[in-house]
Chain A
């Protein structure tokens, strides 16, 4: 039992003190038994307040402290650190949240907010009294990482990690690297092509001797935890031997004889492809592949090239890594049939298709045999939806559409661009592109969400109609030859990874970080980080910034040989446990396993996996489980203080 407790009530500037009578809370805390001192402070987290606490702990020989301030999500570690620096065990520190739970939640009723704060502080004191000295667990860590997704973000992180001395395994689900960027021509804002960027990165990866790349690869399963994940990779066959030294003439012939033909996803269905393919000459790795789903195994290509091997089998590979970095990127939103005429009106395409079209058409922009003169770009398709689920702005698309329109104009000169926008968001330096497009004569129109742009057929023409607020709400109609839907970003479908890694997903369906400012690339799953467009819509530069941030965090996490973990773990009393499977069933982290000793079955907690969430406690019929740091005694004493 602790009996020299210090209590600090934080004003949080005025965030708390505007609604909670902090002085009163302090006075009541001071009267509680075993409380040696009770103070208020303007900002408990400020350096000066921290130093004051340290002095108090030392001078008054405090054996536990309670800080009533904001959420422990924000400052648990700040104050644990204070305790440590003062020579106190960090687990003898208790944080009470009187901001989110009192002043903010009950700002309409300050007296009640104060009353609640008093109760919570009393409960905190009760818990501090029962608090134990605990030691964090130190577990060994491997200085190697698995990067999932070899798009620009993933490759870039891999390279920097390798430079920092971390061994990298990077897997790509597709058979070629580069993700979306490989599909794009010139990129804003540097006008380098996506392909140049990808080949630069690929070549560096090949040069590095501590990066291993697998294409056609997925995660099959994962066990272990931060510092020590055992990951099983499934590597699907490419059906072309790895020692293939691509002979383009032979490859062409093989493509010729292949009898299978289907819509080419690389060109977003604008063209057809064969089962044996390679999308363009410098696509990496420089080895063709065979699409197993469509291939009939007729063997015609094998007759042409002996490097083709239709009998290749799937392989499984186990790797051991200290952390996993997800850079699985995003997909373009796929409009529903009929959404702005998509798939119903013949000349409605997506921005992605237009980008591919530009590359496929050298002199005139021809679509379905017709030369294009007027293009209408319809913005925010699949983003900022009023009725749909995607409330967010996709961030890259205004700039991307404008950049594409500029390319169109530069390449085909006579084309007119009409932009049907919801308010252009070319933030930052990208504004210069908007300027340029306006100068080259592009017409910008804008509607609000209450009157969306319409696309329909009239007298054989495709018409786009808008209630244009830029011309005082006039209804304007434009006859166009091509309607381009500026589609937003959605997260890539990745159900298997989501099931295996259990990374939290936000309302927008992108992966969620812990905190956008404090821990922007980390997730609540220790050792699993996220970066790039799988986290939120981002352009390439922004994705790379986030993946490099993740790289530096990964390196500092796993490069020291050991990792400290919370000692807040479930502990199972072997004698009480009769192995009913209930706890193992509810544990979201698969931390509980069965063990058998001398014929008796009982549950055991895998310490590195356990997150101390406490899910197992209530389901145990024999009350055999205790949560260290939240033992029954602690919780009961808190309840008593609350109802006192």
Chain B
């Protein structure tokens, strides 16, 4: 039997919250294992354009955190991996099964992308939110960490071309899933959030009308590494000049089972609208909203700045979206201030989709269960005093696993989780 590896803390999820928590603990001197399900650490944030309210470029803020995490001598990262069967034996004594999925590409990969050129299979690129295609063998995205290729085995035709051209000899079809046991003393859940799936609101026409996109797709069109190097509408590649934002798409809406406010979509929409004014100076941008939730430090000022730039804010929720033959869209909405139902035509509609809990955490524990709150996020048993404490002592929660949060709040939440974990590891009040 192989001896299981030991760490002080297991951080599950390598988004901004997981990275921050891992770094805080590693900086104190604790040994951290960071397990990330995806191919790269960085979470959702690494895919964002610029971030409110400071409008720093998202990549500029995340990449240093990402590489600091990747380099830290006290942090060991497993990407494309998961943990299962977490068991608590006593205080400061947990075990878990670590599952490393095969990439079919070894660490020798230099990220040169020669294999991508040769691969004959094209599928939708999930890291560009399906706006463009990618190959079956691919480097996830340009600023991925680790920046090595992977074979999407489900779509791979097993033609073996990549293996032939790889100059580093890094393709290895013989890789299999690896399982091992790890021992840890405490755990931080930072598995983040899921995006609301707009297919659940058929009246908005997402999936049917090509020029209805999600905010994440717009986010991708606004990043420096954007697919088209410009903002284009999907149907015909035309530059849009009259863009609408439909806020609260899938939030504050009991009919889709999500009564709460997602807390970030107002502000990211205001942000995207401002960026659009820069990218398409001639375009009109209209935001249909219920309330603008500009509550954080600098947010209100940011919202006022958007108004000053000429972005139009219409108080009213969009009811129905119809498509015209030319691909333009008609939004039916209630203009609350005027007290009537109106129609407006736009050539691109962005659905500001909200956040939903990622409930992976309910399945990874073996002999106990992490409680969920009313909205299926991780339950905080002592929210006022110990905002990272879960129902299991020694297990803490960070970032959007606790509920909808923006980046600054996710970072503070991760700070709290790492502090509470450090206090726990050191044995509590003496």
Contact indicator per residue, chain B 114-150, by CB within 8 Å of chain A (1) or not (0): 0000000000000000000000000000110111000
Tell whether B304 is near chain A: CB-to-CB under 8 Å. yes
Residues of chain A with a CB closer than 8 A to B340's CB: 472
When C-beta atoms are compared, the residue in chain A nearest to B20 turns out to be: A549
Q: Establish whether residues B300 and A544, one from each chain, have CB atoms under 8 Å apart when the complex forms.
A: no
Q: Residue of A at shortest CB range from B418?
A: A552
Is A553 within 8 A of B415, CB to CB? yes
Q: Is A11 an interface residue (CB 8 A)?
A: yes
Among A45, A78, A192, A553, the residue within 8 A (CB) of B384 is A192
Can you sample 15 A-B contacts with CB below 8 Å?
A46-B59, A46-B63, A46-B143, A164-B423, A187-B384, A197-B384, A423-B291, A427-B293, A427-B295, A429-B404, A473-B339, A517-B407, A544-B416, A546-B412, A550-B415
In the bound assembly, the distance between CA atoms of A556 and B304 in angstroms comes to 39
Q: Which of B63, B383, B385 has the most CB of A within 10 A?
A: B385
Query: Contact partner of A47 among B70, B259, B412, CB < 8 A?
Result: B70
* Interface residue stretch chosen among B49-57, B86-94, B235-243: B49-57
Q: Which residue of B lies closest to A14 (CB)?
A: B224
Interface residue A542 (Cβ < 8 Å from any Cβ of B):
yes
CA distance A549 to B57 in the complex (A): 24
Contact A552 B419 (CB under 8 A): yes
Contacts of A102 in B (CB 8 A): none
Q: Could you tell me the distance between the alpha carbons of A392 and B53 in the complex, rounded to whole angstroms?
A: 13
Of A155-163, A220-228, A254-262, A353-361, the one with at least 4 CB within 8 A of chain B: A155-163
Which of A200-208, A273-281, A312-320, A608-616 is found at the contact surface with chain B? A200-208
Picked from A43, A197, A395, A540, the residue with its CB within 8 Å of the CB of B143 is A43
- With A12-B57, A516-B54 known as contacts, the answer to whether A160 contacts B111 (CB < 8 A) is no
Given contacts A42-B225, A393-B294, contact A549 B54 (CB under 8 A): no
User: Given known contacts A164-B423, A428-B403, A548-B416, is B304 in contact with A391 (CB within 8 Å)?
Assistant: yes
Q: Which of A75, A427, A517 contacts B408 (CB 8 A)?
A: A517
Other than the given A164-B423, A521-B415, 17 more pairs (CB < 8 A) read A14-B224, A43-B142, A46-B143, A47-B146, A47-B147, A74-B61, A156-B385, A190-B384, A425-B291, A425-B295, A427-B261, A429-B260, A516-B54, A520-B415, A541-B387, A548-B388, A553-B415
Cβ–Cβ contact A47 & B384, under 8 A = no
Residues 205-222 of chain A, each 1 if its beta carbon lies under 8 Å from chain B, else 0: 001111000000000000
Residues of A within 8 A of B70 (CB): 47
Q: A518 vs B51: C-alpha distance in the bound complex, in angstroms?
A: 12
Any B CB within 8 A of the CB of A269: no
Return the contact of A556 from the options B28, B315, B408 (Cβ within 8 A).
Answer: B28
Within 8 A of A (CB), among B399-430: 403-405, 407-409, 411-416, 418-420, 422-424, 426-430
Give the residues from 1 to 32 in chain A that come closer than 8 angstroms, CB to CB, to chain B. Answer: 11-15
| Complex Cα–Cα for A393 and B299 (A) | 8
In the assembled complex, B375 has its CB within 8 A of some CB on chain A: yes
Task: Give the distance in Å from the alpha carbon of A389 to the alpha carbon of B414 in the complex.
Answer: 33
Judging by beta carbons under 8 Å apart, are B28 and A559 in contact?
yes
Within 8 A of B (CB), among A539-594: 540-542, 544-546, 548-553, 555-556, 559-560
Tell me, yes or no, whether B320 is within 8 Å of chain A by CB: no
Contact bitstring B364-401, A, C-beta under 8 A = 1, else 0: 00000000011100000001111110000000000000
Min CB distance A561 to B, Å, is: 12
Contact partners of A189 in chain B: CB under 8 A: 383
Is the beta-carbon distance between A208 and B259 smaller than 8 angstroms? no
A70 within 8 A of B: yes
Q: Is residue A536 within 8 Å, beta carbon to beta carbon, of the partner chain?
A: yes
* Chain A nearest Cβ from B415, distance in angstroms: 2
How many CB-defined contacts (below 8 Å) exist between A and B?
A: 235
Nearest CB on A from B408, distance (A): 5
B260/A549 in contact, CB under 8 A: no
CB distance from B6 to the nearest CB of A (A): 21
A435 to B70, CA, bound (A): 44
B256 CB, nearest partner CB in chain A, Å? 14
- What residues on A are CB-neighbors of B384 within 8 Å? 152, 187, 190, 192, 197, 540-541, 544
A164 touches B426 (CB 8 A): yes
Q: How far is the CA of A210 from the CA of B430 in the complex (A)?
A: 8
Known contacts A75-B64, A555-B422; is-contact A469 B387 (Cβ 8 Å):
no
Indicate if B296 sits at the interface (CB-CB under 8 A). yes
Shortest distance in angstroms between B345's beta carbon and chain A's nearest beta carbon? Answer: 23
Q: List residues of A whose CB falls within 8 A of some B CB.
A: 11-15, 42-43, 45-48, 50, 70, 74-75, 78, 85, 152, 156, 159-160, 162-165, 187, 189-190, 192, 197, 200-201, 204, 207-210, 384, 391-393, 395, 423-432, 435, 469-473, 508, 510, 515-518, 520-521, 535-537, 540-542, 544-546, 548-553, 555-556, 559-560
Please tell me if B223 contacts chain A, counting CB pairs below 8 Å. Answer: yes
CA distance A162 to B428 in the complex (A): 8
| Min CB gap B200→A, angstroms | 19
In the complex, are the beta carbons of B336 and A549 less than 8 A apart?
no
Q: Contact check: which of A423, A510, A517 meets B292 at CB < 8 Å?
A: A423
- A521→B405 CA distance, assembly (Å): 18
- Contacts A391-B304, A392-B301, A549-B416 given; does A556 touch B64 at CB 8 Å: no
Instruction: Please state if A555 and B28 are interface contacts (CB–CB under 8 Å).
Output: yes
Does residue B67 face the partner (Cβ distance < 8 Å to A)?
A: yes
- Does any Cβ of A come within 8 Å of B4's Cβ? no
B174 at the interface (CB under 8 A from A): no
| CB neighbours of B223 from chain A (8 A) | 13
A160-B419 in contact given A392-B301, A431-B259 (Cβ < 8 Å) = yes
Interfacial chain A residues near B60, Cβ < 8 Å = 12, 15, 43, 45, 70, 74-75
- Is the Cβ of B429 less than 8 Å from the Cβ of A207? yes
Say yes or no for B338: interface residue by CB 8 A criterion: yes
| Cβ proximity bits B37-53 to A, threshold 8 Å, 1 near / 0 not | 00000000000000101
Contact indicator B427/A163 (Cβ below 8 Å)? yes
- A47 CA to B291 CA, complexed, in Å: 40
**CB-CB under 8 A for A424 and B291, given A15-B57, A160-B420, A549-B412:** yes
Partner of B300, one of A165, A391, A520: A391
> Complex: how many Å from CA A378 to CA B194?
37
The 8 A CB mask of B10-50 against A (1 = contact, 0 = none) is: 00000000000000110111000000000000000000000
- Return the chain A residue nearest B55 by Cβ: A104
Contact of B404 among A152, A197, A428 (CB under 8 A): A428
Known contacts A159-B429, A192-B384, A516-B408; A393/B291 CB under 8 A:
no
**B27 contacts A556, C-beta separation under 8 Å:** yes
Which residues in B have their C-beta under 8 angstroms from that of A13?
A: 57, 59, 223-225
- Chain B residues positioned under 8 Å from A544 (CB to CB): 384-387, 416
Question: Looking across the interface, which residue of chain B has its beta carbon closest to that of A156?
Answer: B385
* B293 / chain A contacts, CB cutoff of 8 Å: 425, 427
- Decide: B261 and A431 in contact? CB cutoff 8 A: yes
User: In the complex the two chains form, what is the Cα distance from A471 to B335 in whole Å?
Assistant: 11
Q: How far is the CB of A180 from chain B (nearest CB, A)?
A: 13
In Å, the complex CA distance between A48 and B405 comes to 30
Q: Which of B63, B416, B419 has most A Cβ within 10 Å?
A: B419
Q: B403 contacts A429, CB within 8 Å?
A: yes
Measured CA separation A423–B299 after assembly (Å): 15
Q: Which one of A162, A163, A190, A545 lies within 8 Å of B413 (CB-CB)?
A: A545
Residues of chain B within 8 A (CB-CB) of A551 are 419
Mark each residue of chain B from 317 to 353: 1 if its CB lies under 8 Å from any CB of chain A, else 0: 0000000000000000000111110000000000000
Query: B291 contacts which chain A residues (CB < 8 A)?
Result: 423-425
Q: Which of chain B's residues have a CB closer than 8 A to the CB of A47?
A: 63, 66-67, 70, 145-147
Give B398's nearest chain A residue, CB to CB. Answer: A545
- Provide the bound-state CA to CA distance between A515 and B54, in Å: 9
Residue of B nearest to A428 (CB): B263
- CB atoms of A548 and B336 under 8 A apart: no
Chain A CB within 8 A of B297 CB: yes
A432 and B387: CB pair below 8 A? Answer: no
Structural contact, B225 and A391, CB atoms closer than 8 A: no
| CB closest chain-B residue, reference A391 | B301
A545, B416: Cβ atoms closer than 8 Å: yes
Q: Is the CB of A431 within 8 A of B252?
A: yes
